[in-house]
Amino acid sequence: MPADAPHREYRSGSDLRTLRDALGSFATGVTVVTCVDADGQPFGLTVNSFTSVSLDPPLLLVCIARNARCAPALISASHFAVNVLQTGQQPASIRFSTRDEDRFGTTPWSTGETGAPLLMDSLGVFECERHAVHEGGDHDILVGRVLRASFDPTIDPLLYFRGSYRRLHFD
Ligand SMILES: Cc1cc2nc3c(=O)[nH]c(=O)nc-3n(C[C@H](O)[C@H](O)[C@H](O)COP(=O)(O)O)c2cc1C
């Protein structure tokens, strides 16, 4: 790195804002993770900690904040869905990350094969059964076994980078 380049550094024990900003320099897609509870009530939240884990068996993971109101339902649900958002779904991403929004009342959705809600017009969806839950500090690492994956290969993803929504563009 050139000597005059802007440079910021986090070290263990120093301020968490800098750590957050460092982690935010990893560009991601955006998903909404959904499930229903034992009473059939839908739950969902915006998640960008989505990672593929294994092809055989087919596993993926998401990290769920332990203090999220959705966390008890998601961690105990037998099945969940990861809805990968496309460029036009920024309003859904905001709604599913904002407290006291009527998340499912204002977003078109349907019930998937496993019972978990699927957001209409998503770029892709992974319908999963719970495979494992691992402790991860202030988050739980929810590992799902993919039962069904479907996607539209023609539409562009919604992206998140440095705390802002982004779109792909090619010059
Ligand atoms: C782009 C983006 C990515 C997020 N990723 C995660 C995540 O990976 N895990 C998580 O627990 N919360 C994540 N959040 C925060 C939750 O969406 C947010 O706290 C939500 O309101 C929690 O809902 P609940 O408390 O009603 O369950 C993210 C928010 C945004 C905007």
Number of domains present in the structure of the chain: 1
Domain assignment present for 44: yes
CATH of the domain at 87: 2.30.110.10
Domain assignment present for 6: no
Q: Is 154 exposed, middle or buried (0-12, 13-18, 19+ CB in 10 A)?
A: exposed
Which residue, judged by its Cα, is nearest atom 4 of ligand 1?
47
Which residue, judged by its Cα, is nearest atom 13 of ligand 1?
47
Ligand 1 pocket check for 49: Cβ under 6 Å: yes
Per-residue pLDDT band for 171 (boundaries 50, 70, 90) equals low
Query: Between 5 and 138, where is the model more confident?
Result: 138
Domain assignment present for 7: no
Domain assignment present for 18: no
Domain assignment present for 104: yes
Domain assignment present for 53: yes
Structure token pair of residue 100: 């006291």
Domain assignment present for 139: yes
Place of tokens 């009473």: 39
User: Whole-angstrom Cα distance, residue 13 to residue 150?
Assistant: 42
Domain assignment present for 55: yes
Which residue, judged by its Cα, is nearest atom 31 of ligand 1?
97
Helix (H) and strand (E) counts in the chain: 3, 12
Residues 143-168: tens digit of each pLDDT: 999 999 999 999 999 999 999 999 98
Residues 60-102: tens digit of each pLDDT: 999 999 999 999 999 999 999 999 999 999 999 999 999 998 9
Q: What is the extent of the structural domain holding 66?
A: 29-161
pTM: 0.96
Residue 24 makes CB contacts below 8 A (sequence gap 6+) with 161, 162, 163
Ligand 1 pocket check for 160: Cβ under 6 Å: yes
Ligand 1 pocket check for 75: Cβ under 6 Å: no
Q: Which atom of ligand 1 has the smallest separation from the CA of 68?
A: 25
| Pairing of the two strands 51-54 and 109-111 | unpaired
Provide the Cα torsion 97, 102, 104, 107; round to 10°.
-80
pLDDT of 3? 64
Q: State in Å: Cα 72 to ligand 1 middle.
A: 14
Beta bridge partners of 29: 159
Provide the Cα torsion 162, 156, 32, 124; round to 10°.
-150
Asked whether 34 and 79 are in contact (CB, 8 A), the reply is: no
Q: Is 85 left (phi over 0), alpha (psi -120 to 50) or beta?
A: beta
